[in-house]
A = this chain, B = another copy of it.
Amino acid sequence: MIFYDCSTAPSPRRARMFIAEKGLEIETRQVSIAEGAQLKSEFLALNPRATLPVLVLDDGTVLTENLGIAACLEALHPEPPLLGRNPAEKGLVAMWTAIAEQQGGQPVAEVFRNGNPHMKGRAVPGPQDHDQIPALVERGRARVATFFELIETRLQNSPFLATDHFTLADMTAFVFLDFARVIRTRIPENNRATRTWFDNISARPSAQI
């Protein structure tokens, strides 16, 4: 297997964390988004959608998208289970992962991509350029605030987002909340359950790499 990573970007960080939590060592190649390496012909031949992470299996199968990589690795290496141990848990992990992606990660990315001067023309990931839409910055900030309250309510009643143990849903929300520093947004002081959960995950070895 070969894992294509970018050490500065949130999406490949999710896969990197998943691989570390599984205890796997996979040959890794860095693709520098800062240098636009994901838009060069060599990488586009591998993933024409120009996104990271990418995992190439030994049979040559090319997997993109975090959910694709996670589903494959969970099936190959079931321990420790990161996508749920039974049908109800599998449902809850997939559900909270989707909520974290769509209601947390997406608005953080919209604020960053549509508001940061360095992202001009790069408002949507992929090979096509799209102009920034400044109105998405304000909408995104409002949605991020809603997401903070959503997960605080959940974490006041559950040690982890989806189940009673650490899963892909926690990794997903953690990575996007940590990335929210680029839009100068932090977990509100009063959201104590979220802050405790965040600090605990930050201390895991998989969060240090």
Chain A 49-70: CB-based contact to B (< 8 A → 1; otherwise 0): 1000001010101011111111
- Contact call A65/B142, Cβ cutoff below 8 A: no
Which of A21-29, A32-40, A87-95, A176-184 contacts its partner?
A87-95
Which of A127-135, A189-197, A199-207 contacts its partner?
A127-135
8 pairs of residues in contact across A and B, judged by CB atoms under 8 Å? A63-B91, A63-B95, A65-B94, A66-B98, A68-B92, A71-B90, A74-B90, A128-B143
- Does A120 touch B at the CB level, under 8 Å? no
Choose from B76, B84, B95, B135 the contact partner of A65 (Cβ within 8 Å). B95
Contacts A94-B65, A136-B133 given: A84-B99 contact, CB under 8 Å? no
- Contact call B59/A71, Cβ cutoff below 8 A: no
- Does A45 touch B at the CB level, under 8 Å? no
CA distance A97 to B72 in the complex (A): 14
CA distance A16 to B74 in the complex (A): 27
Report the 3 A-B pairs with minimum CB-CB distance, sorted nearest first.
A68-B95, A72-B91, A75-B87
Contacts A57-B88, A63-B95, A88-B59 given: A130-B150 contact, CB under 8 Å? no
- Does A146 touch B at the CB level, under 8 Å? yes
* Shortest beta-carbon distance from A69 to chain B in Å: 7
- Contact call A87/B67, Cβ cutoff below 8 A: no
- Does A124 touch B at the CB level, under 8 Å? yes
Residues of B within 8 A of A67 (CB): 67, 94-95, 97-98
- Contact call B75/A93, Cβ cutoff below 8 A: no
Q: Which residue of the partner chain B has the closest CB to A125?
A: B102
- Does A139 touch B at the CB level, under 8 Å? yes
- Does A86 touch B at the CB level, under 8 Å? yes
Residues of B within 8 A of A75 (CB): 84, 86-87, 90-91
Choose from B61, B66, B91, B124 the contact partner of A88 (Cβ within 8 Å). B61
